[in-house]
Chain A
Amino acid sequence: MAIAKQEVRHIAKLANLDFSEEEIGRFTQQFNSILEYVARLDALDTSAIEPTSHVDSGSHALRDDVLVPSISREEALANAPESERGHFKVPKVIG
């Protein structure tokens, strides 16, 4: 299941990442070598095995519906590149 440059570009776009043509070429090769390696698992018969979503089969630790003090607005905004009147400021998006 070889993948082409086009798919690598698509994945980069979904991840909001920008790469040069040289990088796209290199990643396409690397993706394919990883997928080929993992494809060796296809040799095994897994038809009788339940898909595993989590390595721990235990169940959830739940918390009670109790309020915990929030952090201050100053702390919340401390890492924001830009903020205005208590809000995070981001490049214009259309709602």
Chain B
Amino acid sequence: MYGSATYRVALSGSGMEYEPVIGLEVHCQLLTDSKIFCGCSTRFGAPANTNVCPVCLGMPGTLPVLNRRAVEYALRAALALGCRIEPVSIFARKNYFYPDLPKGYQISMYDRPLAVQGHLDVEAKGETKHVGITRVHMEEDAGKLLHEGFPDSDRASHVDYNRSGVPLIEIVSEPDMRSPEEAHAYYSALRTILVYIGVTDGNMEEGSLRCDANVSLRPRGQSGFGTKAELKNLNSFKFVQHALEYEIRRQTDLLVRGERVTQETRLYDPAEDRTSPMRSKEEAHDYRYFPEPDLLPLQVNEEWIGEVRRWLPELPAARRRRFVAEYGLPEQDAALLTSDRALADYYEAAARAARNAKAAANWVMTEILRKVKEDKIDVDRVPLPPVRLAALIRLVDDGAISGKIAKEVFETIYATGKDPADVVREQGLSQVTDEGAIREAIENVIAQNQSQYAQYKAGKTALLGFFVGQVLKATGGKASPSLVNRLLKERLDRP
């Protein structure tokens, strides 16, 4: 009922234009081996309730002990987002009853988060948007509730606590986004950077990254905020955008009719492409946070921050700018090549060894990415080492083989891992640069294509391409095209 047409009519009819105000809360699973407060495995997909122990099952008398690597990953993420790390942060208990939470509280951080005041610059609609990061804090994940799939699922829910205690960071943005596109761009850039710095696998199907959105409307030009709705279950980039689009239409419609937006939590249903109020857990927001007495304040000194900072890789945006400046790549190519850290590493290794940055970019973007797609593998699983690809580029640049032959050699070295120079030698693929041999081929082609020759002589010079093709074919693609071109022209244009 809230089609986009309705939205436009409503807007023009009201004489008032509304501006969406959007903030995102993103939960990100950290790539540690063990859980945040105990030594159980974080591995996804294990049989139900096999990665559990008294600590993550919330048994009485157990004590949490914080995982150092989880803190380091959280710090790395906070630094990558330009946050200020707090010297002291405090874990707090967030109290509520829900069966996915075995202790009756979640250990999180409340008024003393790990890091504050960061930002992320994102590209949306050709513009750079500065999105503020309010805070980054650490917390433990809850278990997984299954509402269907059991014979008695109509009467009971079933719980798997393997995920209980998996380390998370929550990244809260400022309400800085003004459109679903910007929210999408922010979430996507955030995922790229978190995967890039190696703190998460970013796998959204497995729930490694989850997103809630706060959205409200206000008359354009007004600086105060309207009443917001919190949207849950935005588990893909597409859902974030669609749910926000729907919710903006819904709220616009309410405001235009003179009604009010209710502050509430709404669940997005991707099948129906709509949001609806979650059955309200009465008083659910009365979490009665208090400092977790079982964990001392977390102290992070300058030395530790410095150590984490040293491990921080060059970030995608900086690397993209460097690729443009250092390798002379177009902005778009640099953006593609830096979208994945392994891809950027592969490209740089190939470009440096080949001493031809542009050719390396073309090979990586077309051939390597084609293979990655065809074989459904990650870039770090590409069997061809970048130096081998570089050697192939050098063979072309040195005139040893033609570009066409290079594609064939590529297939061979990709499949076998052989040195391209060996492949060229073994298969006799060296470029024919012997002018005598090419002239001979030209004479044969002319002899076999007398009518085309006559047409050419009569002025149809566009047939040059035809002759080039025939000569290249006659030499098995091994002749240098530029040489063929020159010799053919000389021969055909001879009076």
Contact = CB atoms under 8 A, between A and B. Distances in A.
Contact of A87 (B49, B53, B286): B49
A1 B295 CA distance: 31
Contacts of B220: none
Given A54-B291, A60-B66, A60-B295, A77 B283 contact: no
A interface bracket (residues with beta carbon within 8 Å of B): 35 or more
Contact of A90 (B33, B41, B67, B159): B159
Contact of A70 (B40, B296, B297): B40
Interface string B84-105: 0000001000010111000000
Contacts of A88: 49, 99, 158-161
Contacts of A61: 65-66, 296
Interface in B384-404: none
Given A13-B283, A94-B279, A85 B67 contact: no
A64 B69 contact: yes
B49 A65 contact: no
A24 B213 CA distance: 40
B99 A65 contact: no
Contacts of A45: none
B435 to A, nearest CB: 66
Interface string B138-166: 00000001110010101111111100000
Contact of A60 (B34, B39, B155, B296): B296
B296 A87 contact: no
Which of A53, A58, A66, A71 has the most chain B CB within a 10 Å cutoff?
A53
A85 B151 CA distance: 11
Main SS of chain B's interface residues?
Answer: loop
Which of B53, B154, B288 has the most chain A CB within a 10 Å cutoff?
B53
Contact of A64 (B54, B68, B283): B68
Interface string B29-62: 0001110001111000001111111100100000
A46 to B, nearest CB: 17
B53 A70 contact: yes
Contacts of A90: 99, 156-159
Contact of A93 (B47, B48, B66, B145): B145
Which of B53, B152, B157 has the most chain A CB within a 10 Å cutoff?
B157
Which of A76, A85, A89, A91 has the most chain B CB within a 10 Å cutoff?
A76
B75 interface: no
A59 interface: yes
A40 interface: no
A8 to B, nearest CB: 14
B297 A73 contact: no
A14 B293 CA distance: 20
B283 A59 contact: no
Interface in A23-43: none
Given A13-B283, A62-B71, A93-B157, A86 B299 contact: no
Interface string A44-79: 000000000110101111111111111111001100
A59 B296 contact: yes
B83 interface: no
A87 B291 contact: no
A88 B99 CA distance: 9
A89 B42 CA distance: 22
A62 B66 contact: yes
Contact of B33 (A54, A67, A76, A82): A67
Given A54-B296, A62-B65, A92 B157 contact: yes
Interface of A: 10, 13-14, 16, 53-54, 56, 58-73, 76-77, 82, 84-95
Give 3 closest A-B pairs by Cβ, nearest first.
A68-B39, A65-B69, A87-B158
Given A14-B288, A65-B32, A87-B146, 7 more contacts: A10-B283, A63-B65, A64-B67, A69-B39, A73-B50, A87-B49, A88-B161
